[in-house]
Each structure stands twice: as structure tokens, then as C-alpha cells.
Amino acid sequence: DDCEDPLPPLIYPLLNLCNTNHRPTAKEESGKERSTTYRSVRLGGQEVGVSSGFALALRCSQATPDFRPEIQTRVTVINFSVTHESLLEQLLTEVVRCEAPQMESRRLT
């Protein structure tokens, strides 16, 4: 719920993904080969394979979490907070688009 800094040390290897190992290709049931790249990370004393498509999302109740610089270089912070003004602007844009399309097209050009 709250992404506090410091983050739990257990997730640092996932943030780093520092030990990249390429494993052999895997054969599907149809006999076709597909290239699968795994990275291995050490979590809690065990080596775990992580798919190349793995993504980690952390949710935080703070609009702008204050992470240490070494964490900020490893993450991307996206602010999904909504303000009253931004909702009002979106609503007004939709009303103009639906009720006065000519005015909307002039506004966009």
C-alpha cells in the first residue's frame, strides 16, 4: 500500500535485475522453437528465473513518493492522481466535442 523509502531489501534484486543469464530455447508442443530469455535473480537466498517480459508495479498512496536517488534511478514514478480542475477540463472538452464539433476542430487547428 505505502511505498516507503527505504523499500524492503528483498525487492532490490528485482529492481536491479543484475544477473542476466540466457537459457536455452524451449520447444513448444508443436515442435516449433521459441526463444525464451530468462534472467535469474537471487530472492531470499534462492535463485529465481524471471521472464524477459517481467514488469514490477508498486502502488503508493503518496502522489510524489520521496525515494533515495539510488532507488529513483531504478524506477519510473507515474502520478495517477486526479484533480478537480483536470476533471473539469476533460468534461468541458468532451461537451464541446459533442455539442460543437466545428468549434472543437477550430480549437485543434
Residues 89 and 47 in one domain: no
Range of the domain at 12: 1-78
Residues 68 and 87 in one domain: no
What length is written for the chain?
109
Residues 13 and 51 in one domain: yes
Give tens-digit pLDDT for 56-97. 888 887 777 888 888 888 888 887 778 898 889 989 989 988
What is the number of structural domains in the chain? Answer: 2
Residues 40 and 53 in one domain: yes
Residue 26 Ramachandran class (φ > 0 left, ψ -120 to 50 alpha, else beta): beta
- Answer whether 0.75 is exceeded by the pTM: no
Q: Which residues contact 64 (CB under 8 A, 6 or more apart)?
A: 77, 79
Give tens-digit pLDDT for 17-62. 743 444 544 554 455 555 567 778 888 888 988 887 788 888 887 7
